[in-house]
């Protein structure tokens, strides 16, 4: 049957995002936290039953914007929230990318980046990462692309770009830098202040990883006020729902010490896990995040074998530069014990 409509040409080959089917006992596939959720957020969620869901959340400067500004040392006009950092990434490209412009991104990186670029009529250009898994910042600049996306730490390697490289990017990028700091709490060295000062960079961050609040869907962008206003325009109103707004604002106000503890525990567990896997012959890339990328001969086969044992990980077959790898979320010790035991049973 022919239909009178069709999707836009520059977008029609995109696929709907789906994660692997079926419940698993231990899910180490998506880098959400296994170290608990921000306690003040949980308290707000419990209390929300007594609030009034008939009202819209705040449209402009809400408690979340103010809480984030206070935490990050910027002003509320430097911050805009969204339905996950996915939302602010998408809105940034829509607001600031002229249709047909190029968006350069590290290959491999966050899968949604080339998707959102194409969905917003940009032309995504992958630039192979460096051998250690960090983005090749000079390679990104060399494309001359109008928009440059950099995830630091990068996904799936976990490796952050060097401070010097990010300095060069902020200095030399022709128009706009989108700096994705979804995992920056684990690495330190956020560039939100530099982004605000430069006026040509937007930093995106999230409550989905270190805060343990992926289900609430809250992310945010930080940058110069004029840039943030354009992103807010493209995003549209009320993308952070009232429950998510209250809970994430409470977390950022009250749970900073808690966050520091999670970061410490994750880093310790990460290096321990890398060491144990290395001792049984599995090398991994150096990581500055809450996940590691483990080199394996056959990523889909290894992921399937681990899944049969109740452990989900993300397989990257033949990733550019990095080869076959499994991306695995760092977990507390009892789960890592089971993971290492399962690795011992993998066919070699």
Binding residues (CB under 6 A) for ligand PLP: these are 31, 84-86, 110, 151, 155, 180, 182, 206, 208-209, 214, 219
Give min distance, CB of 161 to ligand PLP, in A: 13
- In whole angstroms, give the CA distance from residue 255 to residue 252: 6
Give min distance, CB of 209 to ligand PLP, in A: 6
Give min distance, CB of 94 to ligand PLP, in A: 15
C-beta closer to ligand PLP: residue 184 or 302: 184
Secondary structure (DSSP) of 205-226? EESSSTTS-GGG--EEEE--HH
C-beta closer to ligand PLP: residue 85 or 92: 85
Give min distance, CB of 9 to ligand PLP, in A: 27
Residue 77 DSSP class: G
Give min distance, CB of 289 to ligand PLP, in A: 8
C-beta closer to ligand PLP: residue 161 or 342: 161
Q: Which has the closest alpha carbon to 77: 88, 66, 87, 85?
A: 66
Half-sphere exposure of 257 (CA within 13 A, CB side): 2
C-beta closer to ligand PLP: residue 111 or 163: 111
- In whole angstroms, give the CA distance from residue 182 to residue 73: 18
Task: Report phi then psi at 291, rounded to 5.
Answer: -150, 165
CB atoms within 10 A of CB 243: 18
Question: For 61-74, b where at least 16 C-beta lie within 10 A, e where not — what string?
Answer: ebbbbbbbbeebeb
C-beta closer to ligand PLP: residue 36 or 309: 36
Helix extents (H) in 30-136: 39-47, 63-72, 84-96, 112-119
Residue nearest to ligand PLP (CB): 84
Strand-by-strand arrangement of the 147-151 sheet: 79-82, 219-222, 201-206, 176-180, 147-151, 102-107, 123-128
Give min distance, CB of 112 to ligand PLP, in A: 7
Q: How is residue 240 written in tokens? A: 């952070």
C-beta closer to ligand PLP: residue 43 or 214: 214
Q: Which has the closest alpha carbon to 213: 345, 310, 81, 315?
A: 81
C-beta closer to ligand PLP: residue 96 or 221: 221
3-state secondary structure of 123: strand
Give min distance, CB of 85 to ligand PLP, in A: 3
- In whole angstroms, give the CA distance from residue 197 to residue 13: 38
Give min distance, CB of 180 to ligand PLP, in A: 5
Q: Is the dihedral of CA 102, 107, 112, 115 positive or negative?
A: positive
Tell the residue number behind the tokens 């993308």, with chain if given.
Answer: 239
Give min distance, CB of 219 to ligand PLP, in A: 4
C-beta closer to ligand PLP: residue 5 or 17: 17
C-beta closer to ligand PLP: residue 219 or 342: 219
């Amino acid at each position: 049957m022919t239909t009178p409509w069709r999707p836009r040409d520059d977008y029609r080959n995109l696929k709907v995002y789906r994660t692997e089917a079926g419940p698993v006992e231990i899910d180490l596939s998506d880098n959400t936290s296994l170290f608990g959720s921000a306690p003040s957020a949980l308290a707000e969620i419990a209390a929300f039953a007594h609030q009034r869901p008939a009202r819209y959340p705040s449209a402009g400067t809400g408690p979340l914007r103010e809480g984030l500004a206070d935490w990050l040392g910027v002003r509320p006009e430097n911050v805009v929230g969204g339905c996950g950092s996915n939302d602010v990434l998408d809105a940034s490209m829509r607001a600031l990318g002229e249709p047909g412009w190029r968006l350069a991104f590290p290959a491999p990186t966050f899968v949604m980046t080339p998707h959102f670029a194409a969905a917003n009529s940009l032309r995504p250009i992958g630039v192979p990462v460096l051998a250690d898994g960090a983005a090749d910042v000079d390679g990104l600049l060399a494309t001359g692309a109008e928009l440059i996306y950099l995830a630091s730490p990068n996904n799936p390697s976990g490796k952050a770009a060097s401070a010097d490289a990010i300095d060069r990017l902020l200095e030399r990028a022709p128009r706009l830098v989108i700096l994705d700091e979804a995992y920056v709490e684990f690495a330190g060295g956020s560039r939100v202040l530099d982004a605000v000062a430069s006026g040509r960079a937007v930093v995106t961050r999230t409550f989905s990883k270190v805060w343990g609040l992926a289900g609430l869907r809250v992310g945010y962008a930080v940058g110069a006020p004029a840039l943030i206003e354009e992103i807010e325009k493209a995003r549209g109103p009320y993308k952070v729902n009232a429950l998510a707004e209250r809970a994430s604002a409470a977390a950022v106000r009250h749970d900073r010490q808690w966050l520091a503890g999670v970061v410490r525990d994750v880093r310790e567990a990460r290096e321990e896990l890398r060491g144990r896997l290395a001792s049984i012959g599995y090398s991994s890339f150096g990581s500055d995040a809450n996940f590691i990328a483990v080199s394996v001969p056959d990523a889909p086969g290894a992921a399937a074998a681990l899944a049969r044992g109740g452990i989900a990980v993300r397989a990257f077959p033949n990733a550019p530069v990095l080869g076959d790898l499994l991306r695995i979320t760092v977990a507390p010790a009892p789960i890592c014990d089971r993971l290492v035991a399962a690795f011992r049973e993998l066919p070699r």
